[in-house]
Structure 1
Amino acid sequence: MREAGLDVFAAELAQGAFAIDVREPDEYTSGHVPGALSTPLSALGAVLGELPGDRPVYVICASGNRSAWAAEQLAARGLDAVSVAGGTAGWARSGRALVRGTTARAA
């Protein structure tokens, strides 16, 4: 399973990277990384066909545990999945902005 630090992830996002947030919907709406699409772990299997197969899929959660598991599952299915170390909590601690109140879904 590949992993990226927050600085690498931020740079990739600025270049248009595809990102999913695997936290629960209430966690997502309370604050998420701009551009990350809500894809709870429970729905991950249902959206496999919606995820890009031609570029990396960055996976983020609260701290990095759920995203690591999800990235492993996606990689096992042939996707170029990258877990974001530090997660949304690390993103916020680093002073980066969060978006609140939206429910953009990957599927």
Structure 2
Amino acid sequence: MAQGEGQQHAIGIYLRVWFLLFVLSAFSYLVDVVGFEGYLKWFLITLFMLLKAGLIVSVFMHLVWERLALICAVLVPPGVLLFLMLLMAIEGQHVLSSRLAVVLP
């Protein structure tokens, strides 16, 4: 009985991804060191976090080498949830601003 051969990837790919993860982590720490405040700070931290998560999922979980159907099955539901969260945040901001306009004329 023949043993199944697994897919082998070059170690260089993993080393480059580790280096990119290190650089992105350094940038996210630099956001605090430089002293960004408000929405810019949270946007940059979230951007670096999503980039790191994308690298981890695509390379270390081997999603980049999978079929498109599997990629869509894994990535589309969280994307839809993020879109719905964005819509709820926009609606919540609208409701808050309309209530404050009525209470504070």
Normalising by structure 1, what TM-score?
Answer: 0.25
Q: More strand per residue: 1 or 2?
A: 1
Whose Rg is larger? 2
The higher relative CO (CA closer than 8 Å, separation ≥ 6) is in 1
